[in-house]
Structure 1
Amino acid sequence: MPPGYPEHTNATRLYGPQITGDTNELYTRIRQEHGPVAPVLLDGDIPAWFVLGYREIQHVTSNSQLFARDCRRWNLWDHIPSDWPLLPYVGWTPSVMFAEGEEHRRRAGALGDALDALDRAELVTICNEIAEELVETFAEDGTAELISQYAHQIPAYVVARIFGLPKSDIPQLVRDVLDSLDTAEGAAAAHQRVHDRLHQLVADRQQRRRRDVPSRLLDHPAGLTFDEIVIDLLVVMAAAQAPTGNWIGNTLRLMFTDDTFSTTVQGGRSSATEALNEVLWKQTPTQNFIGRWATQRCELAGRRIQAGDLLVLGFAAANTDPQVQPGQPTGSGENRAQMSFGGGEHGCPFPAPELARIIATSAIEVLLDHLPDVELSVAEDELEWRPSVWMRGLFELPVQFTPAPPTT
C-alpha cells in the first residue's frame, strides 16, 4: 500500500472474482459499509476513491476547479507499473478527454458544433440503412448472435458514415475499431490502423471539404490543429462504440427477458424509448469511469481527499442510489436524470447523448420490424455478462426467429 492512504487498509477491491457476479449487489454492499464515497483498490491494489452517491457525483462533475481531468496530477504515478491493466483509462494523451479550462471548452465546443450540424432526419436514414443491411446478413438463417453480428457493429458503421469515409473503406475500419477495443493480441496494431486511416481522412479533407464532421472541424473558428482533429475524432469513435453497442445489446436483453418490456416494445415502436431509458437506470453500459483528480486537499462526504487523489465515478451505483430512487418498484418512464452520460464540463458533450439515442432507437426498431418474432434461443440464466466494473455488456445474445425468404 502506498503511503498516505490509511483508510484503504481494508478497502474493497474493484477487481478480481467478486466482480463477475451481480455488480449491483457489490455496489449496495460498498454503500452500506462505507457510505456515498468509499475507499477502494484498483488492479494491483492501487488505492482510489469510489464516488457512488448520486448527489456526490453531481458535486464532483460540476466542480471542475476542484476535481479536474488532467491525469498528470495523480499522486501515485511512481507506483504504477508500465503494464498496469488500467493504463488505457488513465494514460495521458493530448486529446479533448484530458484538456481542461479554456482549452477543453475550445475543443469540446468545436466537436459539439460539428456533431450538432448533423441533420437528424438524415442520421435516422443512415442508421436505418445500416441496421437493415446488417439484419439482411442473417435474416435468412433463422438464428443470430446479436452482440457481435449487430449491436456492436452499428455504432462503428454510423460513425464512419458521418465522418465521411467511403463505403469501400468502412468494413475494414469497423473490424479495426472493434479489434482495437479488445484485449486480445493485435489490439495495438488495430488502433494504429484506425489512427492512420483518420489521419489520411483529415489530410484528404484539407484538400477537399465535404459535408462531414472532419470538414466542419477544419473550418471551425476554434482553429483546431491537424493533430487535434485526428486525435479528437479517435476519441469520438471510441466513445461511441462500446457504450452505444452495449446500450443496444442490454436493451435487447431487457426486451427478451422482461415481460413488461417484451410486450410493450414489440407492441408499439414508441416503447423502445422507455426500454432504452430503463437500461440507462438499471444496466447502464458505462458502469464506472476513471475519473477525476483532486486539485487540492478537500472533504467529500466526510472523506479527506488529498491533492492528486484519484476519484472513480460510480455511474451505475449512483443511478440506483436509494436516496434518489427509494424502493422504486416500477420502471423509470421518461425520467432522464440518470448519470449514465456523466455531467458537468467533462460529461458526454452535447449532442452526443441525443445522437447515441437515435442510433440505439433505430437499431431496435429496425430489428423488430424485420424480425417480429425474434426471441432468445437460450435460457435467460445462460446469458453471461462480461466480468468488468467498467463496462456492462454481454458476451453473446443468441436469438432465433422465422427465417426470411431467400432474396432473388
Structure 2
Amino acid sequence: MTGYQTSTPADPIPAADRVRLYGPEFQKDPAALYARIRRQYGGVVPVLLDGDIPAWLLTGYREIHQVCQDSQLFARDTRRWNQWGNVPDDWPLLPYVMHNPSVMFTEAAEHRRRAGAIGDALSAVDQFDLGAHCERIADRLIDEFAGTGEADLIAQFAQQAPLLALAKMYGMPDSEAPALVRDVALSLDVGPEALPAYGRVQEAMARLVAVKHQQPGADVPTSMMQDPANLTDDEVVQDLLVVTAAAQQPTANWIGNTIRLMLTDSRFAMTLSGGRGSVGQALNEVLWHDTPTQNFIGRFATRDTVLSGVRVRQGDLVVLGLAAGNADPHARPDAASGALGNHAHMSFGHGEHGCPYPAPEVAEVIARTTVEVLLDRLPDLELAVPAENLVWRPSVWMRGLESLPVVFTPVHVAGPGVW
C-alpha cells in the first residue's frame, strides 16, 4: 500500500485500555455496550478492530457531527491511515479500507465533482415511477410465497427488493439481478467471499457501462456518463459500485428492521381501525434505534489534533459510531418518548461525505413502498417464532436480521405477474 504514511507509529495506548470492537458482546446487545463505553470514555472511545488494530470509535452525536463537518481535518482517503504496516493481506475489514478510485475515497473538489454527478443522476429518477415499479416488484416477490402461508421475509423479500429496484434505475435486464443480489450481499460481508464477490460486481458494472455506450437510456448510468462532470468510464464503474452497495444492504436491512418493528411493537401491530402507527413512522424509528449501518469506517486525521479532549494523531482512523450517536442522550433527551417527527439522526451520515441528495429519498421510496405493499397484501402477517428468538447478523458494521420467519393466511395467486 502506497500513500501518505511512510511509517507505522507505535500505539501510545496499551491494548488493555482499548475496547475490542468485535466479538459476541457487540453481537448480543450492542446498544447496551455503546451506552456503557460512552459513560466510561465519553464521545471518543479507544478501540481495537479485528486483529487488534487500534482506532477511535465516536459514540457521541456531537463528536460525529464535528468530524463529518470538518472534511479537511478528518479526511476520507484511506491511504492516510498510519496502521497500514500492521494490516495483513487477509484482514477481514480490508474491503472497507482498501483504497480504490471511487467517489468514496476522493476529497475536496474531486469529491464534489464525482458526488455531484451521482446526485444529478439520482435527481433525474422519477420517484413516482420508481414507486410504481417498487409496487410491482413487491407484488411479484409476494406472489412467489403468498400461497404457502409462510416465508422468510429477509431472504425472500427484503434482500431482493432494493437491488431489483436498482436494476430498473440502471436499465439492467431483470435476469442479471439475482446474481447481483447475491454478490453485493457477499461483498459487504466480512468473510473470505467478500473480495471475489466485489470483483464480480465490478465486472457487472463494467459490462453495464459498455452496453450503455451502445444503448443509452433514461437511467442512472447513462446520466452519469453524460454528466457535465465528464466522468471517465472507470469513474462511472467505480461510482456505480458505491451506489449499488449503498442501495442494497442498508436498504434491505432498513426494510427488514422496519417489518420486525411493526410485527413486535404494539404501536404498529394494531389493526388499522385501531390506529396502527404508519410505515413512515416505523421507518424513521428504525433509523434512530436499529439503523442499518451501525458503524462506518471512517475518517482519517490529517494532522495531530484534539477531539473532545482526546489526543488524535495524524493518520489515526476514526470510526463513525452512527448507532451510538443516534442513542446519545445529550442529542436525544426525549428518547423514551420515541422518535416520531425527529429526522436529525446520523443514519445517512453528514457533511460532504454524507449520503448525497436525493439518495435518502430514493431509498425511502423503495423501503416505504415495499413494506406498505407487504402489509396490504398480507394483513394478518405475524412472526412464526417468538420475537426474542430472532437472530441479528453477527456484524459490528451492519444491523440486520439473519432471517424473519412469518406466517399468514395463504393467498391464492392467479398467475405470474410482470415486472
The TM-score range, normalised by the shorter chain, is: over 0.9
User: Which SS does the other structure have where 1:326 is aligned?
Assistant: coil
C-alpha RMSD of the superposition: 1.8
| Alignment correspondent of 2:414 | 407
CA contact (8 A) 1:2 1:79 kept: no
Q: Which moved more, 1:203-212 or 1:311-320?
A: 203-212
| Alignment correspondent of 2:69 | 62
| Alignment correspondent of 1:278 | 285
Equivalent positions of 1:168-247 (< 5 A) are 168-183=175-190, 186-247=193-254
Q: Which moved more, 1:37-46 or 1:64-73?
A: 37-46
The question of 1:325 aligning with 2:345 is answered no
Where does structure 1 lack aligned partners over 5 or more consecutive residues?
Answer: none
CA contact (8 A) 1:8 1:39 kept: no
State how far apart, in whole Å, the 2-side matches of 1:110 and 1:263 are. Answer: 44
Residue type matched to 2:267 in 1?
Answer: T
What displacement does 1:161 show? 1.1
| Alignment correspondent of 1:346 | 353
| Alignment correspondent of 1:361 | 368
- Relative to structure 1, the CA distance from residue 270 to residue 121 in structure 2 (aligned partners, 3 Å threshold; closer, same or farther) is farther
What displacement does 1:176 show? 3.1
| Alignment correspondent of 2:402 | 395
What displacement does 1:405 show? 1.8
Of 85, 92, 106, which residue of structure 2 is paired with 1:99? Answer: 106
State how far apart, in whole Å, the 2-side matches of 1:9 and 1:170 are. Answer: 46
User: Which SS does the other structure have where 2:409 is aligned?
Assistant: coil
User: Which SS does the other structure have where 1:390 is aligned?
Assistant: coil
Residue type matched to 1:331 in 2?
Answer: G
State how far apart, in whole Å, the 2-side matches of 1:318 and 1:121 are. Answer: 33
| Alignment correspondent of 1:90 | 97
Of 364, 382, 388, which residue of structure 2 is paired with 1:375? Answer: 382
User: Which SS does the other structure have where 1:214 is aligned?
Assistant: helix
State how far apart, in whole Å, the 2-side matches of 1:328 and 1:264 are. Answer: 26
Of 302, 314, 326, which residue of structure 1 is paired with 2:309? Answer: 302
Count, aligned residues: 408
Q: Which moved more, 1:12-21 or 1:346-355?
A: 12-21
User: Which SS does the other structure have where 2:151 is aligned?
Assistant: strand
- Relative to structure 1, the CA distance from residue 186 to residue 311 in structure 2 (aligned partners, 3 Å threshold; closer, same or farther) is closer
What displacement does 1:44 show? 1.3
Where does structure 2 lack aligned partners over 5 or more consecutive residues?
Answer: 1-7
User: Which SS does the other structure have where 1:125 is aligned?
Assistant: helix
Of 147, 162, 170, which residue of structure 2 is paired with 1:140? Answer: 147
Residue type matched to 2:353 in 1?
Answer: H
What displacement does 1:250 show? 0.5
Of 17, 22, 25, which residue of structure 1 is paired with 2:24? Answer: 17
Q: TM-score, normalised by structure 1?
A: 0.96
State how far apart, in whole Å, the 2-side matches of 1:169 and 1:346 are. Answer: 30
